[in-house]
Amino acid sequence: MKEQLLQISEELKQRLWEMSDYIHDHPELGNQEFEAVNTLTSFLKEHNFSVEVGVAGLETAFTAVYDSKKPGLSVAYLCEYDALPDLGHGCGHNMIGVMSAGAGVLLSKIIDEVGGKVYVFGTPAEETNGAKVTMAEAGLFNEMDAVMMVHPDGYTTESGTSLAMEALQFDYTGRPSHAAASPENGINALNAIIQLFNGIDALRQHVKSDVRMHGIITNGGVAANIVPEHATAQFYIRAATKEYLAVVKEKVLNIAQGAALITGTTVEISNYELSYDDLKTNQVLSNAFNENLRQLGITDIHPAKKETGSVDIGNISNICPTIHPYIGIGDCKIVGHSQQMVDATVTSLAHERLVIAALALAYTGYDVLSESIKLK
């Protein structure tokens, strides 16, 4: 069956390269990826997928499904396709969307024999507001038995982890007064922000080493001779697991309330971006993908990275078995979010690795559907 997938990939590879290059040449920011969505969904429709665009209230999110009409499991592939401001596809999302769509089409060609369903999800705005979180909350992944995507990088690397993250905003309100003539009448909201920073800095000594807490002051007052009535800070709080993140978050919230109490201000606390869960790689699925890569000639597979960032696929991985490995498109270090990455995604090596990654995803999907591996 895998030999059949390999033969089909030869027929599709030119189209896959062309789609990746087209999306590369027409970069679109998050939630504005209309050309990319049309490119990918047109390809899926040509291969008899049922497609719905605008799912989960997101204009450039889509669901595509090929149903064998036979009982079986459900395998899903995730497309990303948003670009970075000014730079373009400095994170290789032009390749990601095509690798996943290609894998979905490949698997659909044999699924009628093994049963089950193959899904391809279009997940916009990975670089900004993390549509996978919204789509997960809408229940789109609740029935999936395996979810996969591959990210381009310099080296080929196993699927690993990411940090859970909360994006917290602190809005303090005090009372304005003339800072020289009547300071006693003022309540300084900026003082509360300074106490917040000092408290969080002190907390760093008493949390696990994987925790990251970093923030900025977005509003510190309007003039030096006016006691600031309003002040705002935004923080990212991260930890290795969402469970420990909840512990750290509670400590940070207590610090924020303490800063208000010390200064006589009031504080409103909110999330200014969506919260991300930690990525939990399913090791059985990961091992199967790695073995399929080896069968396709990629034997230099690096151990999983120790990640200190956060990704929206983490929320999916807390629902169903998930992997997020990397395919090497340079066999050297490539800096993400750089012109180096932009250029690397349209080389002949990137074209070759795109097809290999799509095949490895399809092979692994077949392993799941045929139940030659057990994920649960």
- At residue 42, the pLDDT reads 98
The H-or-E segment that residue 33 falls in is none
Q: What is the pLDDT of residues 360-374, one digit of tens each?
A: 999 999 999 999 998
Provide φ and ψ at 367, rounded to 5°: -60, -40
- State the pairing for strand pair 266-271/164-173: antiparallel
Distances from the Cα of 196 to the Cαs of 231, 241, 282, 329, in angstroms?
Answer: 11, 24, 38, 44
In 3D, which of 294, 355, 287 has the Cα closest to residue 321?
A: 287
State the Cα–Cα distance between residues 117 and 108, nearest whole angstrom. Answer: 8
Least confident range of 77-81, 143-147, 328-332, 348-352: 328-332
- For the chain, give the mean pLDDT: 97
Mean pLDDT of all residues in 252-273: 98
**Where is pLDDT greater, at 129 or 255?**
255
State the Cα–Cα distance between residues 8 and 206, nearest whole angstrom. Answer: 56
Mean pLDDT of all residues in 278-307: 95
Catalogue all structural domains in the chain, each as residue range(s) with its CATH number. Answer: 1-162+278-370 (3.40.630.10), 164-271 (3.30.70.360)
pLDDT reading at 308 higher than 90: no
Q: What is the pLDDT of residues 7-40, one digit of tens each?
A: 999 999 999 999 999 999 999 999 999 999 999 9
**Cα-only R_g, the chain:** 24
Percent of the chain with pLDDT over 70: 100
Helix, strand, coil percentages for the chain (3-state, nearest 5): 40, 20, 35
Q: What is the pLDDT of residues 82-136, one digit of tens each?
A: 999 999 999 999 999 999 999 999 999 999 999 999 999 999 999 998 999 999 9
pLDDT reading at 309 higher than 90: no
State the Cα–Cα distance between residues 317 and 324, nearest whole angstrom. Answer: 10
Percent of the chain with pLDDT over 90: 96
In 3D, which of 159, 106, 85, 107 has the Cα closest to residue 316?
A: 159
State the Cα–Cα distance between residues 170 and 217, nearest whole angstrom. Answer: 9
Mean pLDDT of all residues in 236-241: 97
pLDDT reading at 243 higher than 90: yes
- At residue 16, the pLDDT reads 98
Contact predicate 151/107, CB 8 Å: no
Mean pLDDT of all residues in 320-330: 97
In 3D, which of 372, 362, 291 has the Cα closest to residue 13?
A: 362
pTM score, whole prediction: 0.94
pLDDT reading at 376 higher than 80: no
